[in-house]
Structure formats: C-alpha cells, structure tokens
Chain A
Amino acid sequence: MRRFLLIAVPYLWLVALFLIPFAIVLKISLSDVALARPPYMPQLDISGGWEAIRSFFSALDFENFVFLTSDDLYWKAYLSSLQIAAISTVLTLIVGYPIAYAMARSAPEWRPTLLMLVILPFWTSFLIRVYAWMGILSNEGLLNQFLLWTGIISEPLTILNTNAAVYIGIVYTYLPFMILPIYSALERMDESLLEAAVDLGCSRLSAFWLVTIPLSKNGIIAGCFLVFIPVIGEFVIPSLLGGSGTLMIGKVLWEEFFSNRDWPVASAVAVILLLILVIPIILFQRNEQKQREAEG
C-alpha cells in the first residue's frame, strides 16, 4: 500500500500536468481557429455521447500542418533555429574547451573554487545575464565606447539586435553547460598517457590531438548536446538581443500565441518543434548510456 502511494502520487501528478497537456496540444494542433472562447474548434462535449465524440474526431484535420508548410516563415524559422543552435554550439565549444582544459590542469586545491566560479553564474537569473549584454552591445554601449577609444574603429558597430548579439548571448549563458562535462572528462584523464605519447616521439600538439581530444570525446559530445538542444527552442535571447531579422522558432511560437492569438497554429508549431528535438534527444540519451556502460 505504501509502495503504491509512493509510485502513484508523483505518477499521477506527471500524467495530469505533463502528459495530458501534451495530448491537448496535439488535439488543438488538429483543430481550427475560431472566434470564440477558447479560440478554437471543435470542442469536445462528452455529454453528447458517442455521436458527439465521433463528430469531434471527424472535425480534426492536418490543416494547420499544411499551413505551416505553405507559409515559408515557419520552415525558415525552424531551419534558422537549427543553424543558430549549431553555430553557437561550435562557438561555445571553442570558447569552453580551453577553459575546461586549464581547470583540469590547475592545482588540485584550486579546482573546487574554479568549479564554483563556473557554476555560480548558472544560479543567477538567466534573464539578468542576457540583459547585462544589452548595455554592453548597444551602439553607445561600453564595447563600442572601448573600441572607439582604442581607435580600432571610427564608427560604432551595430551589434545589438543582430545575430552576432544572439551568438554572444548564447555562448555566454550556455558556457557552463559546455565546460562542466568536458572538465569532468579531462579531470579523470591519466596524464601519464600524455607523457607516454611524448616519450614515444609525439609532439605536444599531436599528443593533444591524438590523446587528449579522443579521451575527452564523451565530455565534448555531452556538452554539445546540452547546448544544442535547449538553444533550438530559445526565446529570451533572440527576443532581447536579436533583431527583426533573427528568426527563431521559440519566438515565432510565442508571437503566434500572444500576438496573433492563433492557438491551433501555435500548437502545430510546438508539435513540429518537438518532433525535431526528438532526434538529438535520443542521440544524447544513447551517448549518456554508452558512457555509463563504459564506466561499468
């Protein structure tokens, strides 16, 4: 009885507030927009018996999905989200790897402090960390002031409200997700392997390519997925740092819902986004599982 309650309480909570809402999204994505409250139809009325349920299901169709393919805004937004996510994942890796590497090679008594310094920004508000860049990147912002002062540029650069600002914002906010798994892979690495490689005639650089990189591969893969997956659906960064030209699907869904009030289309956008995310999520899970098995 106790075991039953232990399982049932969280189980029912998740079914009611996670699974059922998805069923509703799926259902509304197949409905039509209507000038009513709630603004879609058909409405399911179970009290009408089987007849009502049958007519309800016959009114559902894939019209919204057809609409998504016909208007190029949507598939462009999906593609551009994937592109932005891919580019920013690579950028985060380039910025994050040297930091993780240096942390793993630092004196052991320093490592807990360095680790805490990487995690600390993660606890501060995401919104505030994105906002901090608005004052730095604007036309009269500190970065432009600095560059003008040094004489590198003579005209202020437009960075805020462009994709460049979005990349900076993503690299900045997601950096800890990249550093931590790479650091934990590098920290476990046996350094005598590097010495062996050097003794056997490897240069330092080729020892790095042939020994360090392959041994940290799992950390790199995990870090890349941890950045890539959430960035695809990102909303705050493109809407604060990006411009009108920044097309990301999270923003499109938000506007479809809050500005256009087209719930069925917003739901269809969500369903497709989920289908796109399933592939990297499964790959990520498989990588994690492989890693766990390798560790025994």
Chain B
Amino acid sequence: MNRFSWFNATSLTLGFAFLYMPMIILVIYSFNASKLVTVWAGFSTQWYGELFRNEEFLNAAWVTLKVAVMSSSIATVLGTMAALVLVRAGRFSGRTLFSGMIYAPLVMPEVITGLSLLLLFIGIGLDRGVLTIVLAHTTFSMCYVSVVVSSRLVSFDQSLEEAALDLGCSAYDAFRLVTLPIIAPAVISGWLLAFTLSLDDLVIASFTTGPSATTLPIKIFSAVRLGVSPEINALSTIMIGIVTVGVITASLITKQAAVRQARDERMAERPA
C-alpha cells in the first residue's frame, strides 16, 4: 500500500538537499587554502591551525562550555521538579500562573527575555558575567526541560510507584528507584536540549553578559558581521561535527533503551 511516486522522491531529495547543502558547503570551504571564502584554491587545514592558536576563540569556547554545563544541569533539576509539579501536584493556589510561567518563555522573543533579565541584574546590582548568563540560560531552558519531562510523566503508570510505596519504600526511595529510572531518557534529552540551547544562544547572552565573559556565539557574531571568514568556517565545522556525532549516538542509545524496555515489558507480561 505504498504509493511512493516520483513526486515524493523529488520533494524528499530537494528538501534534504536544501536542508543540508549550505552546511556541506560550509564544511568543504573550511578546508579551502584561500582566504577568499568563495574561491576554491586547494585543500588545506591551515584555518584549523589558526583557530587553535587564537586565544580569544579558545577562551570564548571555554566560557561557553562552562555556562552550558552549569545552566543545563541546574535547569534539568528545576525543570524536572517543575514537570512533577505540573503533572503530579494537583491543585494549588497559583497553579495557572505557574504553568503560564513555564510555557511563556518558550514563545517569548529572545530580545525581550534578554532585556528584562538585564534590567533585573542591573536593578539588584549583580555584576554581569558568567553567573548572570548561567542564571538567564537556566531560566529559559528549565521550561524546555519541564515540557520534555512532563510529556514522559503523563504516560507514566503511577501504579508502579504506588506499588513501591505499598511494599515499604519511602516516598523518596520510590521516586529514586522507580520513577527516576523510567523518566531518565526524558531527563537526559531535556539536559541535552538545555545544553544545546545554551551553546547556541546569542541574544540572551549578549544582553546578560559583561565585559568579563564573552561566549562563542557572541564572538562568532561579531566576527561574522564583518563578513565571511575561513576561521569561522573551521569553527562551524567542528561544532557541526560534535553535534552530528552527539545526536547520532544519543539516538542509538535511546533506540537500544526502547528495545530493552519492550523486552522487559514482554517478560513482565508473561505468566509465571
């Protein structure tokens, strides 16, 4: 029953060519010997060498990594808590406001989020730097985490946790031993999402940073404004490579986990 026509084949080919061509071109031209990014002058890895000798880029990369690890880890804890509140806590006063505050940052233009946080940091006299970027990134990425985790929690069979409680587990142990392992894939993908959101962010970081902390996107943006540069191509290639490897590994791991879980469920259903 598969009518896979030439039309479908063409739209898939063109569609994926459109999605991937620009990035492939970017990668190819990062190995270009010429300083002129649009003229091919033979293969060379010199731009990678220049990139690794460039202190400013290395510093920015380090700051970005620190911010991403810290903010995504705090955001994962807070976001998972928020998801538990959304799905499990039932009614409490201010619930509507709470879910509004979870969903609003997802659709908020970054310029507004950045501006409002900056005004807050100045208002309370907090020095702008790594700390303020971490606070800002945690705030918007915890909302993404809570959306990812709550979608998993909704389909979670709560009787499993009740069984653990009946069998004498404390509430904390029941969460740690039963609930957490089951929602773990969602928590991990929430962390990964928060991590990449933080790595990518230009606008919010630009508003909330001070002269002491420059992140990689800020650095790239100011370099790119002056035009295309082969060093940025080399940097982009490295980042694309890391993401590609990361996403493919993550999808293989989740696939394996899904297979294992399906097998366990079949075992559990089999009458003893």
Contact = CB atoms under 8 A, between A and B. Distances in A.
B96 interface: no
Contacts, number: 221
B115 A25 contact: yes
A178 to B, nearest CB: 11
B19 interface: yes
A123 B85 CA distance: 28
Contact of A21 (B82, B107, B120, B246): B120
B110 A105 contact: no
A99 B104 contact: no
Contact of B12 (A15, A99, A129): A99
Contact of B19 (A24, A118, A239, A263): A118
Contacts of B112: 25, 233, 253, 270, 273-274
Interface string B206-219: 01000000000100
B116 A6 contact: no
Given A99-B11, A105-B3, A118-B19, A17 B117 contact: yes
A273 B109 contact: yes
Contacts of A127: 200, 202, 217, 220-221, 224
Interface string A97-138: 011011101110000001011111101111111011111101
Contact of B236 (A14, A131, A141, A239): A131
A50 interface: no
Contacts of B115: 25, 253, 257, 266-267, 270
Contact of B98 (A11, A133, A266): A11
A56 to B, nearest CB: 14
A191 interface: yes
B25 A235 contact: no
B225 interface: yes
Interface string B113-156: 00111011011000000000001101100100010000000000
A253 B207 CA distance: 12
A125 B217 contact: yes
B159 interface: no
A82 interface: no
Nearest to B200: A125
Given A3-B89, A10-B78, A117-B19, A124 B239 contact: yes
A98 B9 CA distance: 10
A170 interface: no
Contacts of A136: 22, 25
Nearest to A266: B115
Interface in A130-166: 131-136, 138, 140-142, 145
Contacts of B246: 123
A9 B81 contact: yes
B182 interface: no
A250 B109 contact: yes
A19 interface: yes
Contacts of B247: 116, 119-120, 123
A267 B110 CA distance: 14
B12 A17 contact: no
Interface in B165-202: 171-172, 196, 199-200, 202
B202 to A, nearest CB: 6
Contacts of A284: 107
B107 A135 contact: no
B26 interface: yes
B117 A128 contact: no
Interface string B228-272: 100011001001100110111001000000000000000000000
Given A10-B81, A142-B38, 8 more contacts: A2-B172, A11-B94, A25-B115, A98-B11, A127-B220, A129-B23, A131-B26, A239-B225
5 contacts: A17-B138, A128-B220, A145-B38, A233-B109, A273-B111
The 6 A-B residue pairs with the shortest CB-CB distance in the complex, in nearest-first order: A233-B109, A21-B116, A99-B15, A102-B8, A98-B11, A132-B22
